[in-house]
Chains A and B, each alone.
Chain A
Amino acid sequence: QSALTQPPSASGSPGQSVTISCTGTSSDVGAYNYVSWYQQHPGKAPKLIIYEVTKRPSGVSDRFSGSKSGNTASLTVSGLQAEDEADYYCSSYTGSNNLVIFGGGTKLTVL
């Protein structure tokens, strides 16, 4: 099972919005609303910021939002802040062997 495809990098200035894509197939992203997103700062564990495509855990800023169209899921970070600079990973369930797969990660830089 191949990993999900994410752009290696993204950037934006403070206050702007940035969208990160996550492309899978009709067997994973396109088949289930089980896409989740994780934020990882250097030397730290990943942190859940979006689950089930659009839902935010309690305590996560509403500047983070998720969506999906076909086989591609997206994470939008609005009102960029310096603290948003981090790596972002998407993940999806696939019905094949009850497998969970991740994207390769996107490094978000706040200019």
Chain B
Amino acid sequence: QVQLQESGPGLVKPSETLSLTCTVSGDSISSYYWSWIRQFPGKGLEWIGNIYYTGTTNCNPSLKSRVTISLDTSKNQFSLKLSSVTAADTAVYYCARHRYSGASSYFDYWGQGTLVTVSS
């Protein structure tokens, strides 16, 4: 059974960098794509970006200048860094396995989510 677990600070100050890690169990990170998705307090979902085990990444253009996604295959983890955060970045952040190819795109396993609040 594939399981994902997000970890990181729940409170980040404005202008600082949000950092989260997703630990994957039950599957090797050296396959598929792995994504970050966030859900705003008003419920809307936003795809942030993904990464393949080769290091190839795709990012939402609206966030691209602030987002860094990386992975650590030795720990079966991947990470998100979002710089220069504002209150608008307050959301529940999810990591997910992304079945992403020239023929498909969907998220079949999700972490439980972690609330990140941006506030001084």
Q: What residues of chain A have their CB less than 8 Å away from a CB belonging to chain B?
A: 1, 3, 32, 34, 36, 38, 44-48, 51-52, 57, 87, 89, 91-93, 97-102, 104-105
Contacts and interface: CB of A to CB of B under 8 A. Distances in A.
B47 A51 contact: no
A62 B103 CA distance: 24
B61 A97 contact: yes
B34 interface: no
B38 to A, nearest CB: 11
* Residue among A48, A87, A93, A105 having the largest count of chain B Cβ atoms under 10 Å: A48
B112 A91 contact: no
A51 B60 contact: no
Contacts of B94: 45-46
Interface of B: 35, 43-47, 58, 60-61, 94, 99, 104-108, 110-113
Nearest to B46: A102
B104 A99 contact: no
Contacts of A34: 104-106
Contacts, number: 61
B61 A48 contact: no
Nearest to A97: B61
Contacts of B111: 45
Nearest to A50: B106
Given A52-B104, A102-B47, A105-B44, 6 more contacts: A51-B108, A99-B58, A102-B44, A102-B46, A104-B44, A105-B43
